[in-house]
Chains A and B, each alone.
Chain A
Amino acid sequence: MVLLYTVLTLCVLGVLAALILYLVARQFRVEEDPRIDEVEKMLPGANCGGCGFAGCRGLADALVGRDDISALYCPVGGAEVMKSVADYLGKAAPEKEPQTAFVRCGGSCAKRPRTNRYDGAASCAVAASLYGGETGCAYGCLGYGDCVAACNFGAIAVNPETGLPEVDAAKCTACGACVKACPKNIIELRKRWPKERAVYVSCVSKDKGAVVMKACKAGCIGCGKCEKVCPFGAITIQSNLAFIDSHKCKLCRKCVNECPTGAIRLVGMEPLPRESKPAAAEGARTGAAEAAAKQHAGKE
């Protein structure tokens, strides 16, 4: 008898709870656009946060909800995905040029001698909060791989030979996670040229030329030779640092030969043939760099 009552009470309780749940669910039901689910399915599902939302669901919600979706973009899916989403929703597809991440530091182990040894937590963020770094350059890459840890696509890895991270352009989705992770602001998203070509300044040091020369053999000394030689006005020098505007640059490569330290990096292309004697040895290049730095210092 006792058993029966117990079971019955539980059953009644269960039914009552179900009833309450049913009523509450009906009363407070949230109407959700079924298109959100559809759009989410179209998105890559990487949940990388590259669009600025916490995940793909957030972007899908915004894509369906907003009338004007020109400000929204999925860097992973790219133009293709955005077009299919826009077609599905009957809105104008947002356009954005394809980009790739570039590591703007050329201070490899060979070019940038170590001046001290760091044995704290192996994290760029921690090291950067403590001091300038293991070399004489306080702007350069620390090499503990915060960018590698931040990348969801395995597109960036530290090369053990140079100690610098390298981006695999084929895998890079330009989500910008590495850009945010780098405490030294070394990684930049730049326009992606066909065949992965690029010309960029691989240095972010704002130190004066003489200081850069002392710390690193591959740094930009701000001599301004590239600025002068550029026929398109794509290069500007600000606080002792050259910057190439990837929208104005036509990949003519004149600046590459002009740079005395080799801070301007050329990717996926052969350099222009040198007019005078080809710089046979690395020593000749360093000599030229010193001369340029001196000339520049004289001007100041």
Chain B
Amino acid sequence: MKTFPKGGVHPSDNKLSRAQAVEALPLPESVNVPLSQHIGAPAVARVAKGDTVKVGQLIAEAVGFMSADIHAPVSGVVTAVDLQPNGQGIRQPMITIRREGDEWAEGIDRSKELVRECALAPSEILARIKRAGIVGMGGAAFPTHIKLSVPAGRRVEWLIINGVECEPYLTSDHRSMLERSEELLVGITILMRALGVGRAAVGIENNKPDAIARLGELAAAYPGIRIVPLRVRYPQGGEKQLIAAVTGREVPPPPGLPIDVGAVVCNVSTTLAVYDAVQKNKPLVERVVTVTGRQLREPKNLLVRFGTPVSALIEAAGGLPEGEVRVLNGGPMMGRAVCNLASPVVKGCSGITVLGGAEARRGAESVCIKCAKCVGACPMGLEPYLLSKLARRQLWERLEGEWVTNCIECGCCQFTCPANIPLLDYIRLGKQRVGALVRARAAANTTKK
């Protein structure tokens, strides 16, 4: 069975909510919709306090090249366009809407009926995706229409659909693949059409045999689509790892992109959002979020409108357990701790993981014994112990030379470290600083010219 060639770890998968069908979370009383839910420039609000909005109405517009539109996730009255604290306690511009009923904007098809045929031109498909405000829903939140715009002179050979969901605990993509299999396959054909590519592969880890079987059965009717079962290994869902696992090709280091090896990767949820946008004219206003944790009473998969407070999701899963807990936006490997439970669910949020007891705490740090476990675990072939040490000493130039920008922040190094050294904390800091240095250098070069 296929997998990626270098590094990786195998945490216990803890997919507690694997068998729970997706259920819709009751609509919240009010939502806070951040203007920046994607990589790139924040959108600009097109509504003001007092405006009445319907579900799916454009409330913030993309500005500049790298940005994405944002639509009202609930109907009601805009009560504020102001700074609100996000999950990390940092105040960001958000649009607050007080919900009144559930009235949808005109022209959106909300029926469950499957629309198979799509005869649109690739440019029209891209335009619809852009208009729906779709971004990568696997976590990075990269605007999808930009990813699908293939630069002139490049050819796409592979469309790879990411159904790996290698992150422990999370099951949102798994459930979507099971419950919306046909829609997913239609979505893939639409993406293939948009990219002008004849073959697509859906990478799924073999801890989801039901999804592999179901999609494999249905895919026979869709020419060009192949289901690729993969051996379970974290971080197989990383873009570069998935490309390596499926095609055997290695994406060159930054600024290299998947397109350099002829691949475009799209997440399962993103593909479903593309189906909704193109076939149903439905903008991105909701997503499936896994709410999970060993100490939660009922781990669940919920269909959640954006802007819903994280606390509402946790309540729906049985409430916060007693004692000190760690709430993560995402899974335990790559998720970011949430210090403000009133913060909203955004486009890139695939799960809320609540860890309690010993799981919630990091072990006490001791000294590095140079066991090189981190080196063996790094899927990018880096030397995490060295990177972290250089970052601690603030030797940014040397860090750049050690390819710190290649790090995908998967956390394998920290997971495997027997000394509990916060390797990734420092590497991430180093990556940020080196990134800033590289950008400053590029800016200086352009002004010189």
Interface stretch, picked from B165-173, B175-183, B222-230, B421-429, is B421-429
Q: Is B45 an interface residue (CB 8 A)?
A: no
**Closest A residue to B339 using CB positions:** A116
Look across to chain B and name the residue whose beta carbon is closest to the beta carbon of A130: B88
One of B89, B91, B428 near A131 (C-beta < 8 A): B89
Asked whether any CB of chain B lies closer than 8 Å to the CB of A133, the reply is: yes
Residues of chain A from 94 to 138 with CB closer than 8 A to chain B in the complex: 115-117, 119-121, 123, 125-126, 129-133, 136, 138
Distance in angstroms from B362 CB to nearest chain A CB is 5
Residue of B nearest to A181 (CB): B394
Chain A residues near B397 (CB-CB < 8 A): none
Whether B89 lies near A133 (C-beta < 8 A) is: yes
Min C-beta distance of A128 to chain B, whole Å: 9
Encode A256-271 as 1/0 by CB contact (under 8 A) with B.
Answer: 0000000000000000
Near B by CB (< 8 A), chain A positions 131-155 give: 131-133, 136, 138
Select which of A123, A125, A138 is within 8 A of B89 by beta carbon: A138
How many residues of chain A have a CB within 8 Å of chain B?
18
Q: Which of B88, B91, B425 contacts A207 (CB 8 A)?
A: B91
Do B88 and A131 have beta carbons less than 8 Å apart? yes
Q: Name the residue on A nearest B394 (C-beta).
A: A125
Complex formed: what's the CA distance from A116 to B429 in Å?
21
Are B88 and A132 in contact (CB-based, < 8 A)? Answer: yes
User: Which residue in B91, B324, B425, B432 is a CB contact (below 8 Å) of A120?
Assistant: B425
Let me know if A117 and B324 touch, CB within 8 A: yes
Q: Is the CB of A125 within 8 A of B429?
A: yes
Complex-state Cα separation, A207 to B429, whole angstroms: 26
Say yes or no: is B336 at the interface (Cβ < 8 Å to chain A): yes
Residues of B within 8 A of A132 (CB): 85, 88-90, 339
B425 touches A126 (CB 8 A): yes
- B90 contacts A131, CB within 8 Å? yes
Name the residue on A nearest B423 (C-beta). A121
> B337 near A: Cβ within 8 Å?
yes
Contacts of B91 in A (CB 8 A): 138, 207, 211
Does any Cβ of A come within 8 Å of B214's Cβ? Answer: no
CB of B158, distance to nearest CB on chain A (Å): 35
Q: Hey, which chain A residues are within 8 Å of B429, CB to CB?
A: 123, 125-126, 129
Would you give 9 A-B contacts (Cβ < 8 Å), ordered by A?
Answer: A115-B339, A120-B425, A121-B422, A121-B426, A129-B429, A129-B432, A132-B89, A136-B89, A211-B91
* Known pairs A123-B429, A126-B422, A138-B90 / 5 extra A-B pairs, C-beta < 8 Å: A121-B425, A123-B425, A130-B425, A131-B89, A131-B336
List residues of chain B with CB under 8 Å of any chain A CB.
83, 85, 88-91, 324, 336-337, 339-340, 361-362, 392, 422, 425-426, 428-429, 432
